[in-house]
């Protein structure tokens, strides 16, 4: 069964954390592309550009393995993330090509 990992950002975290650790975080995601199918930030609806959290789409993995992966992410020890939920996801339809950013197509 696939999983959705829903991250909630710490609203009191230094706003530069994401920028300062982004290259390391992206390298981590690429190194684990065999498990993490897609990832990206979430934003609130205010249009202010403030991050509200993030999401990962993860293939069939044991939740304890996912938990370890989360804690290995360079974003985790920075205080950027306030919490996360590991949600089981029963995929009944997918067309992830629609989600591909134009610069990755």
DSSP 49-89: --EEEEEEEE-S--HHHHHHHHHHSTTGGGT-EEEEEEEEE
Q: Please check whether residue 72 is in contact with residue 28, taking contact to mean a CB–CB distance below 8 angstroms.
A: yes
Q: Tally the domains of the chain.
A: 1
Q: CA angle 89-30-79, nearest 5°?
A: 75
pLDDT recorded at residue 95: 81
Strand order in the sheet with 2-9: 36-43, 51-58, 2-9, 81-89
DSSP state of 104: G
pLDDT recorded at residue 105: 44
- Tokens 């939740």 sit on residue: 63
pLDDT recorded at residue 61: 86
Q: pLDDT tens digit string along 33-78?
A: 999 999 999 887 765 556 789 999 999 889 899 999 999 999 999 9
Domain that holds residue 38: 2-104
Beta bridge partners of 4: 57, 87
Q: CA angle 55-60-64, nearest 5°?
A: 75
Q: What is the CATH number of the domain that holds 26?
A: 3.30.70.1060
pLDDT recorded at residue 47: 59
């Amino acid at each position: 069964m696939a999983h959705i990992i829903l991250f909630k950002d710490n609203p009191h975290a230094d706003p530069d954390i994401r920028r300062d650790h982004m290259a390391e975080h992206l390298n981590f995601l690429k190194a684990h592309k065999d498990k993490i199918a897609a990832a990206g930030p979430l934003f609130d609806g205010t249009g202010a550009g403030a991050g509200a959290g993030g999401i990962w789409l993860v293939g069939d993995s044991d939740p304890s393995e996912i938990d370890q992966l989360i804690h290995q992410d360079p974003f985790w020890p920075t205080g950027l993330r306030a919490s996360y939920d590991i949600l089981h996801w029963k995929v009944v339809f997918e067309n992830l090509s629609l989600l591909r950013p134009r610069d990755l197509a």
